[in-house]
Amino acid sequence: MPFLPITALYASICALILLYLAYDVVRFRQSQKKGLGHDTKELLVAGRNHANAAEYMPIALLLLALAEVNGAATLILHVLGFTFVAARFGHAYGFKKSLGKVHMARFHGTLFTWISILALVILNLWLSWPFFLV
């Protein structure tokens, strides 16, 4: 059975981010006594902030786990895992701070989310390439 300590670390941090973002949504819903829908910009932003994280985290963590199982170097895994987590923090902060408008933290968070996922895709293709030749 594979042991994935690096993926476990970054998955746990991502889970904490998701819990915080979910708490943000619940807090807004309770303060506005709104169980469904989004009457205010703040509630819409909180919901989209959580949803955006939930959309990107699974594929990034899956790619990280596959790279770890396939023997990627520890340093590379940590660089990509840290970059992804830092990008998600930046995106969440910028999105919340700007209420969904343009913000440099949001922009860089999105950019580095995409870069880290693309790097994980390339890494996984590189690691699995010898198996295509068999």
The string of pLDDT tens digits covering residues 61-83 is: 999 999 999 999 999 999 999 99
Comparing CA positions, the residue from 68, 54, 49 lying closest to residue 120 is 68
Comparing CA positions, the residue from 49, 41, 44 lying closest to residue 22 is 49
Q: Give the pLDDT score at 30.
A: 81
Average pLDDT along the chain: 92
Q: Give the pLDDT score at 134.
A: 65
Which residue has better confidence, 32 or 22?
22
Contacts of 47 (CB under 8 A, 6+ apart): 25, 38
Protein fold of 5-129: Four Helix Bundle (Hemerythrin (Met), subunit A) (1.20.120)
With 80 as the cut, is the pLDDT of residue 103 above it? yes
Q: Give the pLDDT score at 112.
A: 99
d(C-alpha 98, C-alpha 118), whole Å:
27
Q: Give the pLDDT score at 128.
A: 93
Q: Give the pLDDT score at 102.
A: 86
Summarised one tens digit per residue, pLDDT across range 39-64 is: 778 888 898 999 999 999 999 999 99
Task: Tell me the domain boundaries of the chain.
Answer: 5-129
Which of 34-43, 73-82, 83-92, 101-110 is least confident?
34-43
Q: Are 51 and 24 in contact (CB under 8 A)?
A: no
